[in-house]
Amino acid sequence: MVGSAAVEFDGAVLGDRRRSERLKAIASSLETDPSTSFPRAMGSEAALEAFYRFINGSGYTAADILAPHVASTLERATSERLVIAVHDTTIVEYSGNRSGLGFTRSKEHSGFVAHVGLLLSEADGLALGVAHLETWIRSGKKWRKRKKEGQRGRVHSYDEGRESLRWMRGIEAIEHAKASDFDVVHVTDAEGDFFELLARLQALSGRYVIRAGQLDRLVISDGEERSLREVVQQLTPVTWREIELSERQHGPRITGQAKHRRHPGRAARTARVAIASQRVALKKTRYSDLKAEPFEVNVVRIWEPRPKRSEPPVEWILLTTEDTSSIAALKRIVDIYRRRWVIEDYFKALKSGCSLEKRQVESYAALCKILALCVPIASRLLALRGLERRNSRTPAKSAFSQTDLHLISHAPCNRELKPPRTISEALLQLARLGGHIKNNGPPGWQTLGWGYEKLLALRLGWEMALASRSDQS
In-domain check, residue 405: yes
Beta strands in 46-182 (DSSP E): 82-94, 102-103, 110-121, 127-136
CA–CA distance, 411 with 41 (Å, rounded to integer): 21
If asked whether residues 403 and 329 sit together in one domain, one would say: no
For residue 208, give its domain range: 85-147+185-339
If asked whether residues 413 and 328 sit together in one domain, one would say: no
Tell which of 299, 322, 339 closes a domain.
339
Asked if 29 and 5 count as a contact pair (C-beta separation under 8 A), the reply is no
Tell which of 339, 354, 372 closes a domain.
339
Asked if 104 and 145 count as a contact pair (C-beta separation under 8 A), the reply is no
Q: What is the CATH number of the domain that holds 111?
A: 3.90.350.10
If asked whether residues 126 and 210 sit together in one domain, one would say: yes
If asked whether residues 304 and 397 sit together in one domain, one would say: no
- What torsion do the CA atoms of 41, 47, 49, 55 make, to the nearest 10 degrees? -70
In-domain check, residue 157: no
If asked whether residues 267 and 194 sit together in one domain, one would say: yes
pLDDT in tens, the chain (473 residues): 565 666 788 888 888 888 888 887 887 777 766 767 777 777 778 887 888 888 888 888 999 999 999 999 999 999 998 999 999 999 999 887 788 888 887 667 789 999 999 999 998 888 999 999 999 988 765 555 555 555 444 444 556 778 889 999 999 999 999 988 899 999 999 999 999 999 999 999 999 999 999 999 999 998 899 999 999 999 999 999 998 887 767 555 555 555 545 667 777 778 899 999 999 999 887 767 777 788 999 999 999 998 877 788 889 999 999 999 999 999 999 999 999 999 998 998 888 888 888 888 888 999 999 999 889 888 888 887 777 676 778 788 777 778 888 888 888 888 888 888 888 888 888 888 877 776 666 677 667 766 776 776 677 677 667 766 666 65
The kind and range of the H/E element at 463 are helix 445-472
Asked if 92 and 371 count as a contact pair (C-beta separation under 8 A), the reply is yes
If asked whether residues 261 and 398 sit together in one domain, one would say: no
Tell which of 339, 373, 406 closes a domain.
339
CA–CA distance, 104 with 340 (Å, rounded to integer): 23
CA dist list (Å): 4 to 62, 129, 346, 457: 19, 12, 17, 13
If asked whether residues 261 and 410 sit together in one domain, one would say: no
